[in-house]
Amino acid sequence: MMENTTNNENNVCYNPDCKKNKCYDPEHYNFICMDPDCDNIHCENNKHYNKHLLEEYQEHTDFSIYEHKQDIDYSKDVKVSICSCGDCADDDSHNHKEDSVDTCSDEECSCHSNEHHDDCCDDDCHDDDCSCHDDCCDDDCHDDDCSCHEEGNIKICNCDDCCDDDDDEDVIQEGIPLIQNRSIQIIVSSGILFVIGHILEYFSVYNGIPATIVFGLGAIIAGYDIAIMAKNALKRHNISPAVLMCIAAVASFLIGHPEEGAAVTFLYFISEFLEDYSEQRAQHSIKSLVEIAPETARVKVGNSEEIRSIDEVKVNEIVIVKPGDKVPLDGKVISGVSTINQASITGESVPVTKTEDDEVFAGTVNQDGYLEIRVTKAAKDSVISKIVTLVKNSQLNRSHTETLVEKIAKYYTPVIVVITACVAFIPPLFFGGDLVNWVYRALSLMVISCPCAFLISTPIGMVSAITSATRKGVLIKGSSYVEEMRKIKAVIFDKTGTLTEGKLQLTDMVLLSDNYTENDLIRIAASLETKSNHPIGKAIRNYAEEQNVVFDEIENFKDVPGKGIVGKINGEEYYAANESLIEESDFNVSNDNVVKYVNDGKTVVFVGDKSEVIGIIYVMDKIRDETKEVVENLNNSGIKTIMLTGDNKIAAQAVADEIGINYVYSNLLPEDKLNILDTVRNKFGDVAMVGDGINDAPALARSNIGIAMGAAGSDVAIETADIALMQDDLTKLPYLFKLSIKTDNIIKQNIVTALSVKFIFVILAILGLITLMMAVGIGDMGLTLLVIVNSFRIGVVKDPIF
């Protein structure tokens, strides 16, 4: 019997300096109290270290709030819009004819069947019973099952006028002179008229009539699109910023301030242009992902090649990639050697050498060699296609801050209208004030109160964070996870393949039986491991193959999860296992043979038959170069670090001590990970789980934030985790925390600045100390520009490790 054992009831000390036979000092076994009702993290009550204490808690707790896994249809296209004003709807461009169903996907929606109109949300439809106004343009709908989300425009804003903005034309189009863009033409022509109007007004030509006409023309040119937006908003019984601007412009002309009316439309159009341009930039950052993959592929046909569209290339066909070409589809190299630049997928700047049987991804660049690649995935299933879809879908997972801003905005504008009316008419009616003067003040107040800058403060920051992270090889599946990341108090790491490279190697063997040779030891172990997919088994098989060992046939194979494997060779039963499989047996194994090697962090595999332990095999997994620095960074930031492993306690503790991990759990069964995750969350708060996305999938889904390593090669990781690190790079973890914190700080700056400036200008407007031109130029356009520029700073977050 082994001298030292460990189980749920007896946490035996493994501290070499401790002389107690049975020690319950938590510092010596580094566990966290598992009792949900105990307030202590380190508890010396041994009964509190029993996973059964969690059972009742787990039975009565709803963990579905943490499970973010979603089924995604990668074949559907998703359009993304960032505009957060209330003035982007263009009902004239929204229709359901032919293939242009952009918003409504509900087959039962009456816009598909009612004969009184052809277009969903058609401008001419005034039928109160038509449901197209109820669902297709429901700005407040956040139901994931609602059909309005399917194949539709995913807006970052939740304003009154953005649900129908399907115009894909860029405000600034590439390839043509700047002046040929419609928006620039409007700004220039309206601006020229605005200047001419002021010149005519200054010289009082014909009592100002020509000036009024010129101001009117300028207002009409700049205000036409604004008026269309206002009309569409009113059709949905909503009061949007465009409505406020139209009221202000018309009223300014009526009370004898045509220059102010022209200024309102001119400057507000510029403000809208700035928002549209920021949206265009964000959309282009996503489109650039789509453009990474080439449209055609060189397909090998016999001894020749032919050029085909990537959609026409089938799985298992062979494509040729020459130096300088992009890899057209995901596949495996079957011939050739080359270096591949994978920055477009993994964010990894250093090219990677690819040889036979290595995976390659669509959109990566072949630098210097000739490759023949067997296609393993169709174009729509490639990693780059999934990344594009997930980045687009990320706009659905709104953060709490975005949702709160949208709720406030829903009631903000109507309240402002009421306040404006009170400012305009109460002083003249009840206190003898000048009507024109107070109406002018009210109009200034109305213009200042436009919520555009406030509305875009959060979404443009979140999109900037997500797209910036994607370029660095970090896929974030929603702005909610950007926000949640800064709340994480503990990070749980799976050891193998996460903290270590996951490439085990056999390092040592100790023969314990005189009835066998070392060759017998490795032959038995390797033969048993032919039936196993465990990394330890692969390391043993690789060593045996290098030694030209001939494997035996295995019968009655049995895998005991978390313990080992058992099988028969020529009718004799053998096993290869860790100590937990034999600790209740009658085998006598000297603890010195274990401690001698596991103190160096090596994993122990016992090999034996029914009567004795034949020998011990030791394997070791190399710790990643960056692991220690990453763990140190997290510890210094006050974040608790926990390591999970199926290794024995001494080996696990040796690794934990080397890298500086706070807590280590060893000898784990698969189901233990969820128990530990719940324990950590109970004691510390929100928890992130970092794993490979395959055997860690349940824990990734149940954690507050699931982070998958090396997701470029794992569909399970991409679909299960909330955040996917596209390459095996732990340094992206501190980057995520820094990105989350900086994004949160910038969004707070945007919100506070927007509200503060508007509040000050509201007071000044009521006091009559600012003009309409100042209100729209500084309080709206200037503030919007400031928020946009400030949000772009998120894109320059650097990795704190370097």
Active site residues: 494
Alpha-helical (H) ranges within 18-130 are 26-29, 55-59
Question: Residue type for 692, please?
Answer: D
C-alpha 802/C-alpha 798 separation (Å) is: 8
Place of tokens 């189901």: 671
| Eight-state DSSP code of residue 613 | E
State the amino acid at position 441 in one-letter form: R
Q: For 280, phi and psi rounded to 5 degrees?
A: -60, -40
Q: Residue 792 carries which DSSP code?
A: G
Question: In sequence order, which residues have a C-beta less than 8 Å from that of residue 654 and are 6 or more positions away?
Answer: 598, 599, 600, 601
Judge contact between 48 and 35, C-beta under 8 A.
yes
DSSP type of residue 646 = S
N-to-C CA span, the chain: 49
H runs (alpha helix) in 432-487 = 435-448, 452-456, 459-471, 479-485
* The one-letter amino acid at 312: E
Contact between 564 and 578 under an 8 Å Cβ cutoff? The reply is yes
Cβ atoms of 345 and 473 closer than 8 Å: yes
Residue 734: strand pairing partners: none
d(CA 278, CA 638): 36
Residue ranges in 315-399 assigned as alpha helix (H): 343-346, 383-393
CA separation for the pair 609, 576 (Å, rounded): 9
Other C-beta atoms closer than 10 Å to the C-beta of 205 total 12
| Chain centre distance of CA 529 | 38
Rounded distance, CA 382 to CA 372, Å? Answer: 18
Identify the CA nearest to 287 among candidates 134, 378, 174.
174
Helix (H, G, I), strand (E, B) or coil at 426: helix
456: burial class by Cβ within 10 Å (0-12, 13-18, 19+)? Answer: buried
CB 357 within 8 A of CB 371: no
Question: C-alpha distances in angstroms, 77 versus 154, 167, 307, 658?
Answer: 11, 16, 26, 48
* Rounded (10°) angle between helices 591-598 and 649-659: 20
Burial class for 600, CB neighbours closer than 10 Å (0-12, 13-18, 19+): middle
604 beta partners? 618
List the one residue out of 454, 470, 407, 93 whose CA is nearest residue 275: 454
Closest CA to 76 of 54, 38, 52, 105: 105
DSSP reduced 3-state for 725 = strand
Cα-atom radius of gyration of the chain, to the nearest Å? 33
The token pair at 627 is 């692991």
State the Cα–Cα distance between residues 63 and 753, nearest whole angstrom: 38
What are the residues whose beta carbons fall under 8 Å from the beta carbon of 646, sequence distance 6 or more?
562, 578, 666, 667, 668, 669
Backbone angles phi and psi of 340, in degrees to 5: -120, 130
Cα(67)–Cα(69) distance, integer angstroms: 6
